[in-house]
Structure 1
Amino acid sequence: MPTSSHSHQATIKRAFLYKVSFIAGLGGFLYGFDMGIIAAALIYVRESFALSTRMEEWVVSSVLVGAMAGALAGGYIADHAGRRFTLLLGGLIFVLGSLLAFAAPNVWILIGSRVLLGLAIGFTSVTAPVYVSELAPPETRGMLIGLYQFALTVGIAVADLTGYLLASHHAWRSMFGLGAVPALVFLTLLLTLPESPRWLFSQGRTAEARAVFASFTDEAGTELLIEDIRIALEAKIEKRWSALWSRPVRLSLLIAVGFTILQQVTGINTIIYYGPRIFTMAGITSNENAIFATLLVASTNVVATVIALVLVDRVGRKPLLYWGVGGMTLSLFLLAYSFHAPTAFGARPGAIALLCLMLYIICFAFSMGPIAWILASEVFPLQIRGRGMAAATLGSGASNFLVSITFLTLITTAGSSLTFLLYAAFCIVTLLFVRFIVPETKGRALESISSQRSAVSL
């Protein structure tokens, strides 16, 4: 919770915080599973429906169309109907989308189910990090929000494992349908959580907000937290989309949206969506082996995300970003060169590609992966935090869509080397953005972060 203007700080029950973070993190797991499962399933969907390259790109990217719509709708719903309600709605849509994908009789119904899953992803990715940020104390906020990204990486790894185990049966329908199981668990556990007390207070429901605070802190802590929120709400910011372009907020918008766009255009989801295809291009001929290599990369993603959870509240956001994005840049240059000169490193191209992608994913996982969502949930004022997070998610979804819908076309027209060099160039842009635009938010109260953004607004 935020540090008050007083020298004291509210004492919060850690068991409650971990429960909230775990359940909200399941939304990240669902995000990762439904994004990641397409890597293995696409191989067999392509065979079942005799898809062209363009239709493959649409099957992959349709989920992002839904995610962008879900971000816009989810931001509005989160600010008007509450964080918890939005998460519940997202969980229900996850169940429906998974079952529809399982039963899809043709590629158009499959694409429709992927749009529906994207809608759920938009709802949860907008709301879950905000929900956690509004309950977490400053000294552990980065780690607790980072659990969402950690759960997302676990979801991707479980999706790749599911794909690998079902690959020999070509059971792409089961790959999609199994997503309904964690979605039902998510829905059930959400019913045990309270609404965000910050949101309740912003709606004038002070008694309910106090009751939620009283469930995880003492009376003195409740008063400190209520005072912080009351001071934050004195800023006259209307709950309208146009407020995001107002002078007090526009720098926050640049930070959140700019960074989530850069998170995508540095190429991360080409690996998540097209990992088996990349390894096939690098010389791995078996579908099962290509899926297994993708599983190794996804598992590395999970382990490396733990580095961010441990360090993000200790060393800060920016040092991790400098090291991480620097490593991503190096690995992409090496990968591009390995495609340009396959025998240059004296090893099989498939092995070199695997090493480069594992280095890339390690560096992404302890830097841009979690920190993009941490920053986006920290920098906006309370009154429009849902809409601000929606804008960041929309930027992420739009750039993700652009990357995923063009990847195979770029590979075909420009070649593998130039494609990965392009992503490396965006990594260099990201380093400059971190240096000159991104603030350090380690250990600071949410209200103080947004008030500083106002003081130095563009």
Structure 2
Amino acid sequence: MSAEQHSPGAPAPGSDTQTGNGPSRAGVVLGITIIVGLGGFLFGYDSGVISGALKFITQDFHLSAGVSGLVVSSILVGAMVGSLSSGRLSDRYGRRTIIIVAALAFVVGAVLAALAPSVAILLAARVILGLGIGAASALVPVFIAEVAPPATRGRLVAVNQLLITIGIVAAYVVGYAFTDSHNWRAMFGVGAIPALGLGIGMFFMPESPRWLLARGREGRARAVLTKLRPSAAAVEAELAEIGQVRPDHGTRLKDLAKRWMAPALIAGIGLQVLGQATGVNTVIYYAPTIFGHAGLGASTAILATVGIGIVNLVMTVVGMMLVDRIGRRRLLISGVTIMTVALVVLALTLSIAGLSDTTGLVAFICIAVYIAAVAASLDVVVFIIPSEIYPLRVRGTAMSVTLFSNWGMNFVVSLTFLTLLQALGTAGTFWLYAALCAVLVIFTLKFIPETRGRSLEEIERDFHGGTVAER
């Protein structure tokens, strides 16, 4: 039987998605999104786990401040390599295949970190974890965007960010659970469990129908879309639309240098660089340190960090509910404006007040508001927008270059944060981040297009024709 033919166990093309005993088409898409999104959970967990583990690692290995910073930032070296290499590999071998490879990196990295007998082995483990994080950050949003229908694509791609925040909260909770025992090895080891879930789950996932069609496998692409769309007519219409932009040759890096690609690359890469420059991940990596500088005790600072993680999670859900209603661009502008105000108030408080319980409370409130705004806006759209604006021919490769810029800036910001604290003081550091938030608002107004409700092929045609999606 050919891939185009109806198999006995599958719903007939064009049948009602809610009839019979099988899951609805929307349920199938959501199920795929959640399994693939485990890559996002691991991204969050392995990024956030260092927050609770760093103090005990430093004590066990007697690390200097510089080496401690290297332990934190080494994961970003792997993430840069993973993000840059995974996209082109996925354009060649498939999104599903490279996500499975990323799952293997997560398993190996978690186990190696848990067993690390020396700092050198721990650094190697962190780099391997970074490879998985980089690949997941580049490919999970692309995979979800390529299987999702336009009307719900924003929310579905944002599931990745929701699972990232759940992973961060899980890392904070696990860190808090092992605080009394100082068992940082267990904190890392727990990450192997969802990594195995991702690897096993991906064996049962279909390949992206857009990648299949790009590789000339129309029958298989039709079979996959039949399981994802409500009718045979919808499948054929989508296949025809994808066929209009299907590449006629393999991916080439020089395709990224074409003039019509410039607006998309400026929007995608600029959003990553400026988004990281606002200091988002310093709160994830150094939250207890920040609260300590604001006057909170060690255990209170760790508990406050768990609270910040919960705020992050709840507001991510809010952002998911808004992104397909008000649009990516308006959500981003509103959220980053609130981020700017929160950082200004925090910087003012730290400038004029001495360290006290009141200062610590104000710092917690400001950071909570900042994280709430980040979670509901920037973190929701930062992966959605680039996954939508790049053409099919180079989508994986362009996403790799874009996420490489994200991780590169993340590396710079996280590596320099403690140095900035020493050079500028806590208040001065947050004044700098507030100014960069304001720059991001201006950049969004000028360069970020609105992509809500449009098919990926419509967006591609707009960029290729020298126009942008409606603002």
TM bracket (short chain): over 0.9
Return the match for 1:227 from 240, 252, 267.
Answer: 240
User: How far is 1:342 from its partner?
Assistant: 2.1
Matches within 5 A, 1:314-333: 314-333=325-344
Q: Does 1:147 align with 2:154?
A: no
Residues 18-417 of structure 1: pairs in structure 2 closer than 5 A: 18-217=30-229, 218-233=231-246, 239-286=251-298, 288-343=299-354, 348-417=358-427
1:439 alignment counterpart: 449
Residue 207 of structure 1 deviates from its aligned partner by: 1.4
Alpha-carbon displacement from aligned partner over 1:126-159 (angstroms, at most 9, x marks no partner): 1110001011111100000000001000100110
Find the aligned partners of 1:257 and 1:144 in 2 and give their Cα distance.
22
Q: Secondary structure at the match of 1:51?
A: coil
When structure 1 is superposed on structure 2, of 317-326 and 209-218 the one drifting more is 209-218
Unmatched runs of 5 consecutive residues or more in structure 2:
1-15, 18-23
Opposite residue 305 of structure 2, the aligned amino acid is T
Distance 1:229 1:259 in 2: 27
Contact 2:145/2:387, CA 8 A, preserved across alignment: yes
Q: C-alpha distance in 1, partners of 2:243/2:169?
A: 42
Distance in 2, matches of 1:233 and 1:155, equals 36
Q: Against the structure 1 CA distance between its residues 237 and 206, is the aligned structure 2 distance closer, same or farther, given a 3 Å change threshold?
A: closer
Q: Which amino acid is the alignment partner of residue 306 of structure 1?
A: V
Q: More displaced, 390-399 or 447-456?
A: 447-456
* 1:363-399 superposed Cα distances (whole Å, 9 cap, x missing partner): 0011100101000100000011001111111010000
| Corresponding residue for residue 8 of structure 2 | none
Query: Equivalent residue of 2:150, what SS?
Result: coil
CA contact (8 A) 1:233 1:383 kept: yes
What secondary structure sits across from 1:448 in the alignment? helix
The residue type paired with residue 44 of structure 1 is F
Indicate how the Cα distance of structure 1 residues 420 and 309 shifts in structure 2: closer, same or farther if over 3 A, else same. Answer: same
Which has the higher mean CA deviation after the structures are superposed, 357-366 or 412-421? 412-421
2:54, 2:253 → 1: CA distance? 37
Deviation, 1:81, is 0.3
- Per the alignment, in what secondary structure is the counterpart of residue 55 of structure 1? helix
Rounded to whole Å, the distance in 1 between the matches of 2:76 and 2:249 is: 30
Distance in 1, matches of 2:465 and 2:447, equals 15
In structure 2, what residue type is equivalent to 1:98?
A
Question: How far 1:232 sits from its partner (Å)?
Answer: 1.3
**Alpha-carbon distance between aligned partners in 2 of 1:15 and 1:153, rounded to the nearest angstrom:** 22
> 1:150-193 deviations in whole A, cap 9, x for unaligned?
10001001100100110011010100111001111111111111
Q: Is contact 1:237–1:243 with CA below 8 Å preserved after alignment?
A: no
Q: The residue matched to 1:169 in structure 2 has which SS?
A: coil
Q: Check whether the contact 1:90–1:120 (CA below 8 A) recurs between aligned residues.
A: yes
Matched, 1:426 2:426: no
Query: How large is the RMSD of aligned CA atoms in angstroms?
Result: 1.7
Distance in 2, matches of 1:166 and 1:422, equals 35
Q: Which runs of 5+ in 1 are unaligned?
A: 1-9
Q: Partner letter of residue 276 of structure 1?
A: P
Structure-2-length-normalised TM-score: 0.92
Give the whole-Å Cα distance in 1 for the aligned partners of 2:330 and 2:233. Answer: 35
Structure 1 residue 338: deviation in Å?
1.8
How many angstroms does 1:456 deviate by? 2.3
- Secondary structure (helix, strand or coil) at the match of 1:167 reads coil
CA distance in 2, matches of 1:133, 1:243: 21
Shift of 1:256: 0.7
SS at match of 1:147: helix
Contact 1:249 1:457 in 2 (8 A): no
Q: Matches of 1:250 and 1:108 in 2, distance apart?
A: 41
2:405 partner letter: G
Amino acid at match of 2:363: A
Rounded to whole Å, the distance in 2 between the matches of 1:49 and 1:343 is 34
Give the superposition deviation at 1:285: 2.1
- 8 Å Cα contact 1:37-1:156 kept in structure 2: yes
Structure 1 distance, partners of 2:454, 2:59, is 52
Counterpart Cα distance in 2 of 1:438 and 1:90: 30
Question: Identity over aligned residues, as a percent?
Answer: 40
Paired residue type of 1:314: R
Q: SS of 2:448's equivalent? A: coil
Question: By how many angstroms is 1:216 displaced?
Answer: 2.6
- Per-residue CA deviations over 1:396-425 (Å, capped at 9, x if unaligned) read 000000000000011012211111111111
Partner of 1:5: none
The C-alpha deviation readout for 1:55-93, integer Å capped at 9, x for no partner, is: 111111110100010011101111000000011000011
Instruction: Name the count of aligned residue pairs.
Output: 446
CA distance in 2, matches of 1:388, 1:368: 20
Query: Is the CA contact 1:74–1:86 (under 8 Å) kept in the aligned structure 2?
Result: yes
